[in-house]
Amino acid sequence: MRVAIAGAGSFAKYFAEEFPKAGLEVVILTGSQKYFCDGKPGVIEQRIADYQSVPQLVELLKDFNALVSTIASMNRGLADSQLALVEACKQTPKCKRFIPAEFCHNSEDYPDPDRVHPYNKMIKDTLKAQSDLEWTVASIGWVMDYMVSSTNRYHPDIDGMFPLDIKANTLTIPGSGNGPFALTSVRDVAKAVAALLKSPAKWRHHTYVQGEETTWLKVAESLTSAKKVSDLKIIFEDVEQLEEVVGRKDPALIAVMAEFKLYTPQGKLRFDQQKVRRDHQELFPNMHFSTILELLEKTEKNPSAIV
């Protein structure tokens, strides 16, 4: 099976490493040549794409079976790129499976657009309105990789947005810290998406890929008891103050950060555990999903490892 990966960011790097291990042939679609793909085992080639040209995308995608997009729709231009990929896949003879770049929260139960994901609903509505493509959103919760140092992951730091600051030994919790949420290793996401692509089963519109369900207070307890951090300082952020920031329509980045911080206390990063078990049993029955402590232990054993 030949799979195209659109984009060449952090998620794409994990996909490019794990898809070939699952027996998939991989081609990267990118706006410019990317060095990390050069000589990567299993990556057949890079193809330079104009994401605004549907005819060119059709030509690039005509020999693929599926497309996985990693181009997050953070603005209208990027959203238009995803819409162009959808239209191009529809016009190809066999590229009829599509996974949009929405590797985050529970958008099945919380579908409305917000500042964090302003265009994801538009992408899904476009997919729902057509019948040529089979598609699914892979919901993963928090990216677990942020639990380790930046030297051990492909994802860059997102200062102020992820509650745990490893360098400062600080955990800044929005709300009480008792709200459950999901988080998943991106390498595990890549393995799960590979299994999903190979599965003959008909896809649901939402697939739940979860490594662990926990709370921030449980995270603090496990990090401390396992001696993974020393002198962890816990700070609580008031939910009402965050809601005020969102309501005031403060400058864009401040409002986006506040809205994203509210995802955990609002339950947007929590999944129906029956659906998680269903998807894991049906689609990933033999796969082990890493826990936070397992990820940290990998970096202790090999300080240069990319988790």
**CATH number of the domain that residue 20 is part of:** 3.40.50.720
Bridge partners of 62, per DSSP, are none
pLDDT in tens, the chain (307 residues): 999 999 999 999 999 999 999 999 999 999 998 887 777 777 889 999 999 999 999 999 999 999 999 999 989 999 999 999 999 999 999 999 999 999 999 999 999 988 899 999 999 999 999 999 999 999 999 999 999 999 999 999 988 889 999 888 999 999 999 999 999 999 999 999 999 999 999 999 999 999 999 999 999 998 888 777 878 999 999 999 999 999 886 667 888 899 999 999 999 999 999 999 999 999 999 999 999 999 999 999 999 999 9
Q: How far is CA 307 from the centre of its chain?
A: 15
How many domains is the chain built from?
Answer: 1
- Asked if residue 257 belongs to a domain, the reply is no
User: Which range of residues forms the domain containing residue 86?
Assistant: 1-135
- Asked if residue 164 belongs to a domain, the reply is no
pLDDT score for 77: 95
Contacts of 58 (CB under 8 A, 6+ apart): 88, 91, 92
Q: To 10 degrees, what angle do helices 76-91 and 54-61 make?
A: 50
How far is the C-alpha of 113 from the C-alpha of 18, rounded, in Å? 31
- Asked if residue 119 belongs to a domain, the reply is yes
- Asked if residue 191 belongs to a domain, the reply is no
Q: What are phi and psi of 180, to 5 degrees?
A: -70, 150
Are the C-beta atoms of 6 and 64 separated by less than 8 Å?
Answer: no
- Asked if residue 274 belongs to a domain, the reply is no
Bridge partners of 6, per DSSP, are 29, 69
- Asked if residue 118 belongs to a domain, the reply is yes
> Position of tokens 């140092």?
149
- Asked if residue 42 belongs to a domain, the reply is yes
Joined tokens for residue 122: 């538009």
- Asked if residue 36 belongs to a domain, the reply is yes
